[in-house]
Structure 1
């Protein structure tokens, strides 16, 4: 009897190898051969699942976004402030895995400048992030949509800036998280 193959698991293992390469060498270091070696599979298997380097690179950002969405969806039912904090804090690299994920994310941000499909995926993810933050601010702080949207953009920019400072080693993840928590707490109490 033939073995059941979990194709999604195989695709994930290959993309995990891609992420490791991107975290260490940037997207420029990606080839089907380097990803196959890192994932511990044959180059033929990588080609079978992704076809081309470009398709693999796009699949990498698509899966990264999907994993972030799954993490966010796990907060359903929690208070708006908690869900807002999840969005703002999820990118702060507090663990080794988190550092790899955020390093990969910012490699894709750089790639988006010259790659239409990557730019489209990142733009959509960012748009959804702003919408979700806006909704939680409206619910949690009672602001009108325009004001809540402006605040959402401000908070996401703060989170992005602190994340970059953590990545370069200027501040710790704990300092970044404390700063975001303090800032949102002040805003929640001052209106």
Structure 2
């Protein structure tokens, strides 16, 4: 009897190899051959699942975003403040796996400058992040949509900046998290209308 093949698992194993290469050498270090070697599969298998280096690179950012969404969706049912903090703290490199993930993310951010498909995926992920943060801020703080959106953009920019500082070792992940939590402990109140 033929063995059942889990194609999604095989694709994931190849993309995990890609992420390791990107974390160590940047996207410039990616080739079908280097990824195949890192994933422990033949180059033919990589070509079978992805076809080209470009398709593999795009699949890598697509899967990275999808995995972040799955982690976020696991917070459904928690209070808005907790869900907001999940988004803001998710990228802080608090573990070695987190450091690899955020290193890969920022390699893709750089790639987005010259790669329209990567730019599109990152822009959509950013748009959704702003929308989700806006909604949670509205629920937690009672702000109108414009005020909540403005605060969401500020908080996400703070998270991005602190993530970069933690990534390069200027501050610790714990310090970055504490600064974000402190910022959120001072919720904004709706402006007086008049």
Change (3 A) 1:180 1:101: same
3-state SS of paired residue (2:5): coil
3-state SS of paired residue (2:187): helix
Question: 1:186 Cα deviation (Å)?
Answer: 1.6
3-state SS of paired residue (1:45): helix
TM-score (norm 1): 0.98
Q: Indicate the residue corresponding to 2:178 in structure 1.
A: 178
Structure 2 runs not aligned, ≥5 long: none
Residues 91-170 of structure 1 mapped to structure 2, 5 A cutoff: 91-170=91-170
User: 2: CA distance between counterparts of 1:136 and 1:190?
Assistant: 14
Q: Indicate the residue corresponding to 1:57 in structure 2.
A: 57
Point out 4+ residue stretches in structure 1 off by more than 4 angstroms. 188-191
User: 1: CA distance between counterparts of 2:60 and 2:148?
Assistant: 32
> Cα deviations across residues 52-93 of structure 1 (Å, max 9, x unaligned)?
000000000000000000000000000000000000000000
Change (3 A) 1:174 1:168: same
User: 1: CA distance between counterparts of 2:164 and 2:73?
Assistant: 25
Question: 1:36 Cα deviation (Å)?
Answer: 0.2
> Cα deviations across residues 127-154 of structure 1 (Å, max 9, x unaligned)?
0000000000001100000000000000
3-state SS of paired residue (2:120): helix
User: 1: CA distance between counterparts of 2:113 and 2:58?
Assistant: 14
Q: Is the 8 A contact 2:142 2:189 kept in 1?
A: no
User: 2: CA distance between counterparts of 1:132 and 1:53?
Assistant: 33
Question: 1:190 Cα deviation (Å)?
Answer: 9.8
Q: Does 1:71 align with 2:37?
A: no
Structure 1 runs not aligned, ≥5 long: none
Q: Is the 8 A contact 2:94 2:173 kept in 1?
A: yes
Q: How many positions carry a matched residue from both structures?
A: 191
